Amino acid sequence: MNQAKEKTSTSAESFDADKLLALEQRLMPSARRQAAQSVSRLLWRIGQHLELKIKRLLDIVVSLSALLVLSPLFGVVALLIKMTDGGPALFWQHRVGKWGTVFAFPKFRSMVVNAEALQAQLAAANQHGDSVTFKIKRDPRITWIGRIIRKTSIDELPQLWCVLKGDMSLVGPRPALVREVDRYSLDDRRRLDATPGLTCTWQVSGRSNIAFPEQLRLDVEYIEQQSLWQDVKLLFKTIPAVVTGRGAY
């Protein structure tokens, strides 16, 4: 009787082992399939690398060409700013780039010289409420020439220098101020996973009218889906956004 039980137990163990082996063979990819997956991963990495190289080449060519072509305009704008109040033509800030790297960020000065010192007095008028970002419609600190260059986005053109250097790209999340990043949550810091850009999704969708949470959502969406074709589409969408000036203040 014991021998019969042992035979039954042995047969059951053998049957279970056979089933397990068959299951492993069915789930384990074949050598051909493994090779195909390896090739697919390699091609994907090569494609990503080439896309980044092409994007960087596009940044260099476009930014250098634009700086040369627009240099007469830069001279005129700088002169008008200087004639307005005698202050510097450029306003320099520290902005936060990819993975938290801080870099020097220039704009044509559109506000009075002591604009940052006056910001605390205007906190209650912030269009974005108690938010990370600070935006005011009809900001009293903006000069007459400042309103023109802000409306036409001319004030942002000196950042082409940052694109040429590699601190920024033509397309990417807009670089944040250091004080803004200091208030970021861990989720907010996902914006720092890409090189910042001159234009981005929310820049062509309403600019300053877009509240910070929506800016964050659109930036993260761009980072997760970014491609060269998407960048080209955003560059073309930037043209009508600049022409209409919607959300520029």
Q: What angle do CA 226, 231, 233 make, to 5 degrees?
A: 120
pLDDT at 205: 84
| pLDDT over 90 at 47, yes or no | no
**Domain parsing of the chain, residue ranges:** 64-243
Q: How far is CA 171 from the centre of its chain?
A: 7
| pLDDT over 60 at 192, yes or no | yes
pLDDT at 121: 76
Q: What angle do CA 55, 133, 249 make, to 5 degrees?
A: 80
The three-state secondary structure class of 87 is coil
Q: Which of 121, 108, 111, 107 is nearest to 144 (CA)?
A: 111
Q: Helix, strand, coil shares of the chain as percentages rounded to 5?
A: 65, 10, 25
Say what the alpha-carbon torsion angle 237, 211, 96, 55 is, to the nearest 10 degrees. -20
Candidate from 33-47, 167-181, 220-234 with smallest mean pLDDT:
33-47
Report pLDDT digits (tens) over 193-235: 999 999 999 888 877 778 888 999 999 999 998 889 999 999 9
pLDDT at 100: 93
Report pLDDT digits (tens) over 13-37: 555 666 666 666 666 666 666 666 6
pLDDT at 174: 94
pLDDT at 13: 52
Report residue 105 as tokens.
Answer: 């960020």
pLDDT at 240: 86
Q: Which of 67, 241, 68 is nearest to 162 (CA)?
A: 67
pLDDT at 243: 74
pLDDT more than 90, % of the chain: 53
pLDDT at 158: 97
pLDDT at 144: 94
The three-state secondary structure class of 80 is helix
pLDDT at 124: 60
pLDDT category at 242 given cuts 50, 70, 90 is: confident
| pLDDT over 70 at 1, yes or no | no
How crowded is residue 42: how many other Cβ atoms within 10 Å of its Cβ? 10
pLDDT at 249: 60
pLDDT at 176: 93
Note whether 241 and 206 are within 8 A (CB).
Answer: no
Half-sphere exposure of 110 (CA within 13 A, CB side): 22
Distance from C-alpha of 240 to C-alpha of 219, rounded to nearest angstrom = 20
| pLDDT over 60 at 128, yes or no | no
pLDDT at 175: 95
